[in-house]
Structure formats: C-alpha cells, structure tokens
Amino acid sequence: MKVYINGKLYDKSEAKISVFDHGLLYGDGVFEGIRSYNRLVFKLKEHIDRLYESAHSIMLKIPLSKKEFIEAITNTLKENKLEDAYMRVIVTRGEGDLGLDPRKCKSKESVIIIADKITLYPEKLYKEGMEIITVSTTRNAHEALNPQIKSLNYLNNIMAKIEATNSGYEEALMLNDQGYVAECTGDNIFVVRKNELYTPPECMGALNGVTRETVLDIARRLKIATHEHVFTRHELYISEECFLTGTAAEIIPVVKVDSRVIGEGKPGKMTLALMKEFKELTKKEGVRY
C-alpha cells in the first residue's frame, strides 16, 4: 500500500508524521471518507467542497487547490491499483509545540491520503436489517463544536460507539442535548411515515452527509415527499421504515430500535428502492481515474 503525505507516496511501513503534529496532539484537523466504485470516485467534488468548508471554519489553510487535491486522490488510487476503494483524506494543522496555540505550528499543514478497502457492516445486515440502540452520549452541541465541521476530534462519536459495542450492537443512535434524534455514531438516520421520508435537520446535530444529500435527491427524483424535520424517539419507534446512510455504510436498513420493531421488522419497500437507485448512481456519478 502507498500512502500520500505532503506530495509524496510512501510505503505503508514508512508513512509517518511528527508526534508534534497538532492533528495527533489535539485532533486539530479535518477529514473526509470517500468511496470509489469501478474506478469512479463517487461524489468527489462534494466531498472536497465539504473538506474545504470544514477547514475554513476552523481557520485551517489547505496547501493545495481543489484541483490539485482531486489529482492527488486519483493518483494515489492509480498507484495503489485499486478499482473499488475507501479513501481517508486528512488535513492537519501541522507540527507545533506542546501548547494549544495553533500559531506555534511553524511547519506547513499536513495532507494525508490513505486508499484501502473497508467493510463496515456484514452483508447479512443489508438483507435482513440491523438493530440499533440509543446511548447516553449526546451529540456535540453547536455552541461547543459544530457537528457540521468534520474534524479529527471524533471522541464524541467514539464514546457513543463504545457504548453500542459494549451493549452488543453495531451502531448507536445519538440524541442532541434537547433529547431530539440527531444521528448515529457514523451515519445519518432516516425514517418513513405515511410513504414520506424524514431525516433530522442539521440544526439538531446531524452532519450534512454526502450520502444523506444523495438519498434526498434520489427521493425527490422518485417523487417521494422529503422532510428535514425534528423528531423524537417516539416518532422513530412508530415509523414504517428506518435506514442509515453514510459513505462507508451506503444505505443500510434498520429493523429494530431500542428493542422496538420498526414496521414489519424487515427492510421496507422505500428503503429497498432507494438502495437500488443509489447502487445505480455509484456507477455513473463522480470522477473517473
């Protein structure tokens, strides 16, 4: 495996950054997870746009133009001879001292691109649906760390994930500090009620996921009414269908939440239709390499 670091490709065993990098010391940086299908990087422009937005929000300068970044990603994929891949794209503040002050980071920002494969959930769960549980770890409040910033400081999600795995679940539902449904540890959440599609709005603590937006676009094209709407666990429990979305997860059905059966206890018709349309879209939308 070849890993891109600051303009050069290194063997995995030689891919290193400084222990004084503030991305390591403080989670001071941003990242994106990106998928490629049959040498097509899905929604690459959208992911790059969000990376630059996150960086701008934390006053982090990315030392590449968007065009250069896209070229670096596609070249890394070519060098690794990967047709289907998962990429982790990272930009850190760079090497500094042991203090918090980012002005002490004298070296330029670090840019890292890792191209590999990922299997987030077993195939069985896509066919039969998964069960999730609500955890006590609440989603970061906007006033503390805006969830729209996809930062390297992911401890909020990790603590929720630990709660889920300790309880024997693959994924956890996170509420915001007001008790409304926000999202899961690594995925956005959707429900179906009366043949209409609902997902929490960004102001509830949900990341504006690229797959989330893709699903909303597909639904509108299929003439399905869509709503970015506040809802509680009660509305979730009595929904007809539920599914999660994410770059790695794609679209995965949920059939039980907190031991409550959702709908008929199997992947619903709308969920299956959206999964099919999404798969078709991954064959034609993105940047070819």
From 2, 43, 150, 161, the catalytic residue:
150
Query: Strand 29-37 and strand 250-257: pairing?
Result: unpaired
Distances 149 to 55, 167, 195 between C-alpha atoms, Å: 8, 29, 32
Residue 17 CB neighbour total at 10 angstroms: 16
Query: Strand 40-42 and strand 85-92: pairing?
Result: unpaired
φ, ψ of residue 123 in degrees (nearest 5): -55, -35
Which residue has 């600051």 as its token pair?
6
Rounded distance between C-alpha atoms, residue 135 and residue 159, angstroms: 9
Rounded distance between C-alpha atoms, residue 217 and residue 223, angstroms: 10
Residue 150 annotated to the active site: yes
Rounded distance between C-alpha atoms, residue 132 and residue 232, angstroms: 15
Rounded distance between C-alpha atoms, residue 119 and residue 160, angstroms: 20
**Catalytic residue ranges:** 150
